[in-house]
Chain A
Amino acid sequence: KNEVEQSPQNLTAQEGEFITINCSYSVGISALHWLQQHPGGGIVSLFMLSSGKKKHGRLIATINIQEKHSSLHITASHPRDSAVYICAVGSRNQFYFGTGTSLTVIP
């Protein structure tokens, strides 16, 4: 069973392109999180949201609670954005994680 589904699994983009990563979930949630993981590195929290939209620099995250769907957008993508992006939902006493979207931005 997959409580959280992400798409696409892999994404290659040219520098400067607008990128969208999607996340759908099937459980009731208290909040949805977008995480970033660089190769060989730790995990960093980018956003936590329970409604609407949040923006941080070139990153924008949206959530539609009724449709159980969230998107992460990256505007003007840059090679340093290359990483795995993970969607996670907080439900009851734990988090459920998607398998991640591996993004490669080519100069």
Chain B
Amino acid sequence: NAGVTQTPKFRVLKTGQSMTLLCAQDMNHEYMYWYRQDPGMGLRLIHYSVGEGTTAKGEVPDGYNVSRLKKQNFLLGLESAAPSQTSVYFCASTILQGTEAFFGQGTRLTVV
């Protein structure tokens, strides 16, 4: 039982490049979330999903897209990376709204 797994763990991108972050959970959780963590700020919600095939915008969705084609996977895409997207990205999942959250180990992304 791996819990929540994020890949990759580290990545350096050049401005304008694209990439996809993968979040996989093996707990059959309905809810999945993508957050970014920046110094001096709390985690901020980028996008979330309340079930397979559904996604919704969070607090800071601009510049990101997501997909939830399979219940266990939640993908976060950057189509044209910008230096402002340099951050640590965390994925989380919960079985239902408001229940215990399980987090991935984070992805440290640097855009130069």
**A35 contacts across to B, CB distance below 8 A:** 101, 103
Residues of A in contact (CB 8 Å), total 26
Are A98 and B103 CB-contacts (below 8 A) given A30-B98, A90-B97, A92-B97? no
Say whether, besides A43-B90, A86-B42, A93 and B48 are in contact (CB < 8 Å): yes
Q: How large is the interface on B (under 10, 10 to 19, 20 to 34, 35 or more residues)?
A: 20 to 34
> When the two chains form the complex, which single residue of A30, A48, A96 contacts B42, counting CB atoms closer than 8 Å?
A96
Contact residues in A for B44 (Cβ distance below 8 Å): 97
* B50 on the A face (CB < 8 A): yes
Contacts of A33 in B (CB 8 A): 100-101
- Closest Cβ neighbor of B9 among chain A residues: A42
Residues of B within 8 A of A41 (CB): 105-106
Cβ–Cβ contact A45 & B100, under 8 A: yes
Contacts of A31 on B, CB cut-off 8 Å? 98-99
Q: How far is the CA of A41 from the CA of B31 in the complex (A)?
A: 23
| A95 CB contacts on chain B under 8 angstroms | 33, 43, 45, 92, 101
A-facing mask of B38-69, CB < 8 A → 1, else 0? Answer: 00111111001010000010100000000000
**Beta-carbon contact of B105 and A93 below 8 Å:** no
Of B42, B97, B102, the most chain A CB neighbours within 10 A belong to B42
**Contact between chains at B104 and A42 (CB < 8 Å):** yes
Q: Is the CB of B98 within 8 A of A100?
A: no
A4 contacts B by Cβ under 8 Å: yes
- Contact across chains for A98 and B102 when beta carbons are under 8 A apart: no
Contact B45 A94 (CB under 8 A): yes
Give chain A residues whose Cβ lies under 8 Å from the Cβ of B41: 99
**Alpha-carbon gap, A88 to B104, bound state (A):** 16
Which B residues touch A90, using CB under 8 A?
Answer: 94, 97-99, 101
Minimum-distance CB pairs A-B, first 7:
A30-B98, A97-B42, A42-B105, A90-B98, A43-B103, A97-B43, A48-B100
